[in-house]
Structure formats: C-alpha cells, structure tokens
Structure 1
Amino acid sequence: MKLTKLSLAAVLPLSLMVSPCFALDCASSGTIHVEGNSSIEVMPNIAELTYSSTSENKDAKIARQNVEKTISKLVDAAIKLGIKKENIISDSLNMYPKYTYPESKKPVFQGFSATRQVTVKVEDFSLIDKITTAAIDAGISGIYGFRYDVKDQSKYKLEAEKLAITDAKEKALRLANGFDVKLGKPCSLKFDKQSDFQMYNATSPRLLKTAMVNDMAQSSAVAYSPEKQTLTSKVYATFIIEDKD
C-alpha cells in the first residue's frame, strides 16, 4: 500500500518542526512528529556564599577603609579554612553620598556609604557554617544567603540529551507500528533551548541585616544538606513515512 501526504502528529504541528535544511523532504512526504523528553536528578557539588560589608562615614576614605578591612579579614579567614583564592570573588567597591531631605529645605549631607560584596565558592559543605561564622567575626553587615550549583554540567546535559533522543525514537517507532507504517529517516531535528538545570537558592536572596546576623552568631552550628537538582532536556524530531515493501 502506497502512502502519500500522511501526517501523524504526536506533539507539534509541522510548521513549528521543519528546519530550512530539511524543508523539502518534510514537505514532500508523509511525516511523524514527536517530542522527546528526559529528566535526571543530580546532587549539587558546590555552594556559592555571598556576604557584604557596609560602612558609613562623612569621610569617604574612612568608609572605604572600614569596608576593605572587613573584607580582608573574611578573605584571610576563608583561605585559612582551605578555600582557594580563585574561589573567592570580591566585587568592586560601591560608594555614594547620603542625604536627608527636610521639607522645604536644602538636602543635608549625611556622609558616604561604602559597600562591597564577596562571594565564596565551597565544595565541602561542612565549611558553610564555618565560613559564615568567620564572616560574622570579621564584621560583615549582610548575608545574601547561598546558592547550590553543579560543576561540570556538560556531562550531565549530554546524558539528559541522549535520554531525550532515545525517548523521541521510541515514540516515533510506537506511532509507526501502531498505524502500521514504515518509519523513515528524520527530516527535522532540534533541541529545545530551554533545557537546563532547575536551580534554587538555599535561602532567600534578600539581604539579612545586621541584627539578624548577630542572632545567627548566637546560634549553634547548622548542617547543610542540599536537595537534588533536576536537569531536563527536550528534543523535537520529524520522521519521514516511507512506503512499505
């Protein structure tokens, strides 16, 4: 039996599936369209901790020196804990004048506010509490929480992509067998650009103010156990339906 212009759509319309390089083949043949999906769970193996130091003073130099002193103490403490220098990232200094604005009067200069952030990357999660304690001891004024991440993501993405491709092939074969047609070569293939890790912050990204930092200093050590992160992948494929012998 000869089949012409037969289209079995598992997921998407042809107009969304055809890429220019395969357009002629897809347009001139019956096709099967499928979407392959996969998801794998990966345990995070790195954490990024972010702290800030802020100082206000009418002398800009003093405000800056206070901030630099605090950041230097934290960096030195992190290095003593075994953190490599390349895993300690200090942002540039941010400084601006502060004013009050009395009603119907000229602005009143209050001084300069200097702020600098530092991010510490750790692979040993037992150091999270120790570094946070060191940051508090150094005099930091804010904690921005921390974020779990996965190093060497490429190998996990490759694994997820292979699973998505396998899923697409199996779906195409099930459709072909179910409708008693012969599955031909693919005429359009593409990955979904949105495939990626579903990241999460271990704490809210909002700033924890000085009062909360002081409360944390009084608390006992906390064990940090990250949750697995999910990596998803999706592929779209269009296969030609061939004539059965």
Structure 2
Amino acid sequence: MKSILGPGLALALALSTAAPAFAQDAPQPPRIVVNGEGEATLAPDIAEISLAVVREAESAREALTQNSAAMAEVIKALKEMGIEARDLQTSGVQVSARYDYISKPDNTQESRLRGYEVTNTLSIRVRDVAKTGEVIDRAVSLGVNQGGSITFTNENPKPALTEARKKAVADAVEKARTLAEAAGVKLGRVTEISDTVVSQPPQPILAKAYAARDAAPAPAPVEAGENAYRVQVSMTFALEP
C-alpha cells in the first residue's frame, strides 16, 4: 500500500516517537542540603511610637473639634522638642457613635445614643532613643490618652545583617562537614545558597508608663535594649566520590 503521508509529516512522526528516549531526566549528582542560622545584635537608634487622642462629645462635630485641638497641642509640643515634621504622620482618624444599653423589664435591651467618639492616631519617629520616655510623657500630659505600640529599630541594620549572614553560613558549612564526615563522603563545592531575614516583632508599651505621669514628674520609664537580627541560610553542597 502506498503511503499517503508527505515526507515532512513522516519525519515529524518519527521524531515524536523517538522523543521519550531523550526526555528522560539525567540522574541527579550526589549532594547534601543543610540549613544554618546566625544572629547579631545592635543597639537601636530609632523609636517608632503610636499614640492616640480620644475625645467624646454629644455631637460628632464637637468631638472632632475637641480632638483636633488636643492633637494640635501634642504635635506643636513634639516639634518644639526637636521632632521633625517628616517624623510625624497621622495613621488614622476614626469617628464612631457611642451607645448606652438599658435593660428593660421584658429582658430586652434598649440602646440610647450617648454621643460620638473621635480617635486620632499619630505615628512618631524618635531619632534620639534616650528621649523616648520624655516624648511619651509630654504627649500624654497634653492630651494623649490611648497607646498603641513602640518599636525600636535601626536606621542602618546592614552591618548587623552582614554579621548574621556570615555566622549563618559558617553554621551551615560546619553542619555540612560534620554530616559528610559521618557519612564517609567528601564535601564538594557549593552549588546553591539562599537566605531569609527573620523580622523583629514590635515591643508593646506598658500601661504603667502612662500612669507614671500622675505619680511623679519623671518621664515614663522605657528601656530600649538591643535588636536581634537573625538570618537563616539554606546551602547545597556537591558530594565528591
């Protein structure tokens, strides 16, 4: 029987039939994958604080007016203390209705509008960490009555991260050598490496720091401590016969 396939189609079919023989994956060379960890500490040079002014009044307009006046005094005082405008940022303004709930004889509750509450939250970046307690104390004395969080950071954490990376790599290399020696094989060159920086969680302000202003004129006690920068690495080594 005479073939009805053209030469081009016949060749394509022949190549597709042979393709699986070339598609087989080459065997992976022997290797070992290890993880390493490193940590370095650095004294913080920036404190990031979140503070809020909360005011309540019969009308939303009145609550906002009172809140704005108090926050304006706080911002003015902070600037007089040396906090630059670039380090002050409004992070939220919220207006909400407030209700009183009254129990009735039939065991139901009746809600009555008590007024409106306005919350204005300010994020402050303090570049002189030693003044953190003074900044909190001054802000509270002028109208701040709600706290968020305080985070001690570093403007340039690169030196600490570099040190942590070196320690993480050294840790991974030591693990790889130990495993290779125990297995009776020879460690080869590094074929792959990656790293991950572990973030530092914010540190909350203690409520007693706000009460301190009523007991004594001293600034609220705040301890900066040290920031720990942690790095994890994953390294792949070839194994020689």
TM-score normalised by length of structure 2: 0.75
Task: Please give the per-residue CA displacement for 1:8-34, whole angstroms capped at 9, x wherever unaligned.
Answer: xxxxxxxxxxxxxxxx78x52222332
What is the aligned partner in structure 1 of residue 99 from structure 2? Answer: 99
Q: Secondary structure at the match of 1:221?
A: coil
- How much does 1:126 deviate? 2.8
What is the aligned partner in structure 2 of residue 135 from structure 1? Answer: 139
What is the aligned partner in structure 1 of residue 6 from structure 2? Answer: none
The structure that is strand-richer by fraction is 2
What is the aligned partner in structure 2 of residue 67 from structure 1? Answer: 67
Decide whether aligned partners of structure 1 residues 61 and 200 sit closer, same or farther in structure 2, where only a CA change above 3 A counts.
closer
Q: Secondary structure at the match of 2:200?
A: coil
Task: Please give the per-residue CA displacement for 1:162-184, whole angstroms capped at 9, x wherever unaligned.
Answer: 33123323433444456553322
Output the CA distance in 1 between the equivalents of 2:141 and 2:101: 35
- How much does 1:217 deviate? 3.5
What is the aligned partner in structure 1 of residue 230 from structure 2? Answer: 232
The amino acid of 1:137's aligned partner reads S
Quick check: 1:166 aligned with 2:170? yes
Output the CA distance in 2 between the equivalents of 1:111 and 1:82: 37
The amino acid of 1:227's aligned partner reads G
What is the aligned partner in structure 1 of residue 87 from structure 2? Answer: 87
Q: Number of aligned pairs?
A: 212
What is the aligned partner in structure 1 of residue 129 from structure 2? Answer: 125
Instruction: Identify unmatched segments of 5+ residues in structure 1.
Output: 1-23
Task: Please give the per-residue CA displacement for 1:83-108, whole angstroms capped at 9, x wherever unaligned.
Answer: 11111122232001112232346421
Output the CA distance in 1 between the equivalents of 2:217 and 2:138: 14
The amino acid of 1:216's aligned partner reads R
The amino acid of 2:36's aligned partner reads G
What is the aligned partner in structure 2 of residue 196 from structure 1? Answer: 198
Decide whether aligned partners of structure 1 residues 105 and 173 sit closer, same or farther in structure 2, where only a CA change above 3 A counts.
closer
Identify the match of residue 156 of structure 1 among 152, 157, 160.
160
Decide whether aligned partners of structure 1 residues 214 and 239 sit closer, same or farther in structure 2, where only a CA change above 3 A counts.
closer
Q: Which has the larger radius of gyration?
A: 2
Decide whether aligned partners of structure 1 residues 69 and 114 sit closer, same or farther in structure 2, where only a CA change above 3 A counts.
same
- How much does 1:186 deviate? 2.9
Output the CA distance in 2 between the equivalents of 1:128 and 1:168: 39
Identity of paired residues, percent? Answer: 20
What is the aligned partner in structure 1 of residue 78 from structure 2? Answer: 78
Decide whether aligned partners of structure 1 residues 116 and 236 sit closer, same or farther in structure 2, where only a CA change above 3 A counts.
same
Q: Secondary structure at the match of 1:140?
A: coil
CA contact (8 A) 2:52 2:122 kept: yes
Most deviating of 142-151 and 67-76: 142-151
Output the CA distance in 2 between the equivalents of 1:80 and 1:225: 24
Output the CA distance in 2 between the equivalents of 1:179 and 1:213: 60
Output the CA distance in 2 between the equivalents of 1:213 and 1:224: 11
Task: Please give the per-residue CA displacement for 1:56-93, whole angstroms capped at 9, x wherever unaligned.
Answer: 11121110011111111111111111111111122232
Decide whether aligned partners of structure 1 residues 95 and 202 sit closer, same or farther in structure 2, where only a CA change above 3 A counts.
closer
Quick check: 1:34 aligned with 2:18? no
Output the CA distance in 2 between the equivalents of 1:36 and 1:213: 42
The amino acid of 1:140's aligned partner reads V
What RMSD over aligned residues (CA atoms) do the two structures have, in Å? 2.7
Output the CA distance in 2 between the equivalents of 1:30 and 1:218: 69
